[in-house]
Amino acid sequence: MANAETIQVLVSWSPQPREVCSWSLSLPVGSTLDDALRAAGLLEMVDSDAGASLQVGIWAKARARDTVLREHDRVEVWRALKVDPKEARRQRYRKAKA
């Protein structure tokens, strides 16, 4: 149960297809997206050269990393797409048809 000085947020990241890691965090009121990434242990990865292609946001919308979080926000870290979703669908259709 959160008190008046803390908020509950969820940080989610998918390191690879069909795998999702989530952290439920209790952070001080006024915490930013960066604070949540730091608390989940993801800030160093996002700031690294390997993390340059990663994007972050709240509830599936890209946000600046200094955005102040609200109660029950879902912070998300996204990988770059390796395959165009339309092309992947076409390939699955061709495979199923064959």
Q: According to the model, what pLDDT value does residue 50 have?
A: 63
10-residue averages of pLDDT along the chain (98 residues): 82 87 95 92 76 83 93 91 81 84
Instruction: Fill in the amino acid letter for 84.
Output: D
Alpha carbons 18 and 39: distance in angstroms, whole number:
24
Q: According to the model, what pLDDT value does residue 79 have?
A: 81
Domains of the chain by range and CATH? 6-97 (3.10.20.30)
Alpha-helical (H) ranges within the chain are: 33-40, 43-47, 85-97
N- to C-terminal Cα distance for the chain? Answer: 54
Q: According to the model, what pLDDT value does residue 10 have?
A: 97
**Token pair 């495979």: residue:** 95
**In angstroms, what is the C-alpha Rg of the chain?**
16
> To the nearest 5 percent, what fractions of the chain are helix, strand and coil?
30, 35, 35
Q: According to the model, what pLDDT value does residue 4 have?
A: 77
Global pTM reads 0.73
Q: Is 2 helix (H, G, I), strand (E, B) or coil?
A: coil
- Other C-beta atoms lying within 10 Å of the C-beta of residue 37: 22
